[in-house]
Structure 1
Amino acid sequence: MNVVSLESASKEYPGGVRALREVSLTIRRGEMVAIVGPSGSGKSTLMHLMGTLDRPTTGHVRLLGHDLASLPDEQLSAIRARWIGFVFQRFFLTAHLSALDNVVTALLYDGTPPRRRRDLARSALERVGLGHRLDHRPSELSGGERQRVAVARALASGPALLLADEPTGNLDSASSAGIMEILTDLHRDGSTIVVITHNPNLAAAMPRQVEILDGRIRSDTGITDGPSSPLGRTEARS
């Protein structure tokens, strides 16, 4: 099943700035994909379209078969809360809340019953190795631990798609390796993950790499003319 697909999607901002140009890209369930490119290449715009944070100027974006352009903002917000988990370079944790409560806040708007929120948050933190740090506030955690809280917050609701935008950009090499190990483990468990990065070495370690430059897809290791892989055939064209 296709989790997210873009069909000839372009994005133009005021002043004639074209951030994306006729991009077609399909991410199938269970894939782990790196979107790689230099600053200004369009990769963040691509993530915003996949994450329903923005709409294409032309073309279509579909999430689990739903054409997002046809949905009102209120419904898009509900889809974003339930089906998409975000991890950003900056952790965006609330300073006065514990790790557990930071994760609980992500479940306030997706329809999770109140009695289930803390159980799901605790389970997500245990999954990223922070079961012993539930009551610690962000100031009491290392950078790597804070990013683990952010990952737990993103996966607590069991999203269909996990989008990670430069998730290791603010971390040292050891912490970066730990975060990537967690994401790899989540992928092995069946999660669909897209990592946005400017780091070609980080991208090279992932099963599929999509390179974007000047708003166009330059290469995609997921394209094949042979039989489908276990993850399924994927397509992209500029």
Structure 2
Amino acid sequence: MSEAVVELAGVVREYPGAPPVRALDGVDLRIGAGELVAIVGPSGSGKSTLLHVLGTLDRADAGTVRIDGHDVGALSDAQLSALRARRIGFVFQQFFLTPGVSALDNVADGLLYTGLSLRERRDRAHDGLAAVGLTHRETHRPNQLSGGERQRVAVARALAGSPSLLLADEPTGNLDTVAGRGVVDLLHELHRAGTTVVVITHDLDVARSLPRQVHLRDGRIERDAA
């Protein structure tokens, strides 16, 4: 069995209200290094909350969360920020690219807080764009790129820091069918290269195309299937 990148045991996340809303209700989940996993479920199932917990953007109220061997509950806010910067890459439905800035520098800017020089950041950005097949577009600005290309730039930015875990939140949500298929193919390529990828999606076709699907409903894992 491969080393675990994600380990959740009895994780609970509750939001205040009358009555309180239990968004995650005793979630147990293990994701090994190099896996490609879909987290799927209807609106309100807990997918977004699970993404925030996996990405250390939100703390669990109960249970244990380990990311790349680190017990998230035992870390300070500064240590959590460092863990996110060095171990976790994020890809969102919105591309969040800076207008007027080249693809190369959009990727390099994702490494601003690593302490690397501009040249080192651009070298890593070049490698990241090569990984997603976009070196021929690295001088282009976002408005000169298609939707699928912009999402690939966002993936390259997430990869540039060599994260242990890549989290993709509805990565095909703003794309047409052809561009969306291209992004899914890219995720498969990254999986074959050994990247651990977790895709949060409500699209059952996207989920079925991935090797493992974890189905959430009402904050609980309903089914976990290859």
Asked if 1:35 corresponds to 2:75, the answer is no
Q: CA deviation at 1:32?
A: 0.4
Q: CA deviation at 1:114?
A: 3.9
Task: State how far apart, in whole Å, the 2-side matches of 1:29 and 1:152 are.
Answer: 19
Asked if 1:4 corresponds to 2:36, the answer is no
Q: CA deviation at 1:110?
A: 3.0
Task: State how far apart, in whole Å, the 2-side matches of 1:44 and 1:97 are.
Answer: 30
Task: State how far apart, in whole Å, the 2-side matches of 1:82 and 1:25 are.
Answer: 22
Partner of residue 236, structure 1: none
Secondary structure of 2:114's counterpart equals: coil
Partner of residue 168, structure 1: 172
Identify unmatched segments of 5+ residues in structure 1.
223-238
1:33-88 deviation line (CA, Å, top 9, x unaligned): 00000111101110110111100011111012211011111110011011000000
Which of 133, 136, 155 matches 2:137? 133
Q: One-letter code of the match for 1:168? A: T
Task: State how far apart, in whole Å, the 2-side matches of 1:110 and 1:160 are.
Answer: 16
Secondary structure of 2:105's counterpart equals: helix
Q: One-letter code of the match for 1:164? A: A
Which of 199, 204, 220 matches 2:203? 199
Task: State how far apart, in whole Å, the 1-side matches of 2:177 and 2:147 are.
Answer: 11
Percent of counterpart pairs with the same letter? 61
Q: Please report the TM-score for the alignment, with normalisation by the length of structure 2.
A: 0.96
Task: State how far apart, in whole Å, the 2-side matches of 1:98 and 1:115 are.
Answer: 15
Task: State how far apart, in whole Å, the 2-side matches of 1:25 and 1:109 are.
Answer: 31
Alignment of 1:15-164 (within 5 A): 15=17, 16-164=20-168
Indicate if the aligned counterparts of 1:161 and 1:192 stay in contact, CA closer than 8 A.
yes
Q: How many residues align?
A: 222
Q: One-letter code of the match for 1:127? A: A
Q: CA deviation at 1:111?
A: 4.1
Q: One-letter code of the match for 1:221? A: A
1:2-26 deviation line (CA, Å, top 9, x unaligned): 1011110010012111110000101
Alignment of 1:187-226 (within 5 A): 187-221=191-225
Indicate if the aligned counterparts of 2:37 and 2:199 stay in contact, CA closer than 8 A.
yes
1:195-234 deviation line (CA, Å, top 9, x unaligned): 0000111111111000000100000015xxxxxxxxxxxx
Which of 12, 15, 20 matches 1:13? 15
Secondary structure of 1:211's counterpart equals: strand
Identify unmatched segments of 5+ residues in structure 2.
none
Indicate if the aligned counterparts of 2:68 and 2:87 stay in contact, CA closer than 8 A.
no
